[in-house]
Chains A and B, each alone.
Chain A
Amino acid sequence: DAKTTQPNSMESNEEEPVHLPCNHSTISGTDYIHWYRQLPSQGPEYVIHGLTSNVNNRMASLAIAEDRKSSTLILHRATLRDAAVYYCILISSGDKLTFGTGTRLAVRP
């Protein structure tokens, strides 16, 4: 199975941008890159996903490297409510949604 590597933890200041990296050097051509996050005492929530091109939505942006071996989730202005564990997940059609240990983001006021 294609796997992802993320830092265990990151810190950010409130109102500043945050770049959360994810390495996926064994990604296959059919793998979509998904990001979910899990706020304290809540279930995970979908953030964004992409295949080859960069993607933007109301929550975040996803920048995908040209060789697709890495990607970066960008939170443009971190707020205290963005403190969560962020999961980068590769999924192909028919695959399971397999969570790793993710990156725990702390946001300083």
Chain B
Amino acid sequence: ETGVTQTPRHLVMGMTNKKSLKCEQHLGHNAMYWYKQSAKKPLELMFVYSLEERVENNSVPSRFSPECPNSSHLFLHLHTLQPEDSALYLCASSQDWVHYNEQFFGPGTRLTVL
């Protein structure tokens, strides 16, 4: 498989559940990103990892916990979410953390919190 993949593509969870979103890139990139896209709002950058180190955390609530075990994999662990956290969660990667490098996005995980 090539490019950036995300699983699951759709997820429905209750507010007390714990779930994880997975992202994998097969491009040999060193930087990976989590974005949130809510209905009728622009994409919001959540987290940036460069060489497996978190380099940016945009005031994201602690109920979202990222993990980057290696340069090819990125997880977003979810717990005690709120209905307003329902959104499309997008993962992206780029060659490095110089932001004018082209970013490659996955198809996203559509999350619904009941």
Q: Which of B99, B103, B107 lies in contact with A42, CB distance below 8 A?
A: B107
**Cβ B56 vs Cβ A96 within 8 A:** yes
Complex alpha-carbon distance, A45 and B99, angstroms? 15
CB distance from A107 to the nearest CB of B (A): 22
Within 8 A of B (CB), among A69-109: 91-102
**Cβ A99 vs Cβ B42 within 8 A:** yes
Within 8 A of A (CB), among B41-89: 42-43, 45, 48, 56, 58
**Cβ A43 vs Cβ B107 within 8 A:** yes
**What residues of chain A lie closer than 8 Å to B106, measured between beta carbons?**
43
**What residues of chain B lie closer than 8 Å to A49, measured between beta carbons?**
100, 102
B58 to A, closest residue via Cβ: A96
Q: Which of A32, A41, A97, A98 lies in contact with B103, CB distance below 8 A?
A: A97
**Cβ B99 vs Cβ A94 within 8 A:** yes
Q: Mark A26-49, 1 if CB is under 8 A from B, else 0.
A: 000000101010000111111001
Q: Which of B45, B102, B105, B108 lies in contact with A98, CB distance below 8 A?
A: B45
B40 to A, closest residue via Cβ: A101
B104 to A, closest residue via Cβ: A46
**Cβ B100 vs Cβ A93 within 8 A:** yes
Q: Which of A32, A45, A102 lies in contact with B105, CB distance below 8 A?
A: A45
CB distance from A93 to the nearest CB of B (A): 6
Instruction: Please list the residues of chain B having a beta carbon within 8 angstroms of any beta carbon in chain A.
Output: 4, 33, 42-43, 45, 48, 56, 58, 90-92, 98-100, 102-108
Instruction: Please list the residues of chain A having a beta carbon within 8 angstroms of any beta carbon in chain B.
Output: 32, 34, 36, 41-46, 49, 91-102
Q: 12 A-B Cβ contacts within 8 A? A: A32-B100, A42-B105, A42-B107, A43-B90, A43-B91, A43-B105, A49-B100, A94-B99, A95-B99, A96-B45, A97-B99, A99-B42
